[in-house]
Amino acid sequence: MDRIISIDYIKGMLYSVPAILLAITLHEFAHGYVSYRLGDPTPKREGRLTLNPLAHLDVVGTLCLLLFGMGWAKPVRINPGSYKNSRIGIMLVSLAGPLMNYLLAFLSLLVFGLSGLYGHGFGEWFSYLALINIGLGTFNLIPFPPLDGSHVLEELVPAARQLFERLGRFAMPLLFLCLYTGVLRRPLEYVNEAVLNGMWRLVVKVL
- The catalytic residues are 28
d(CA 22, CA 111): 16
Q: Is the peptide bond before 146 cis (omega within 30 degrees of 0)?
A: yes
Give yes or no for a contact between 61 and 73, defined as CB atoms under 8 angstroms apart. yes
Instruction: Give backbone dihedrals phi and psi of 143, rounded to 5 degrees, phi first.
Output: -80, 65
CA-CA-CA-CA torsion for 162, 168, 173, 176, nearest 10 degrees? 50
d(CA 128, CA 134): 10
Identify how many contiguous H helices and E strands the chain contains and give both numbers.
9, 0
Beta strands in 70-151 (DSSP E): none
For 29-78, the DSSP string reads HHHHHHHHHTT--HHHHTT-SS--GGGT--HHHHHHHHHHS----PPPP-
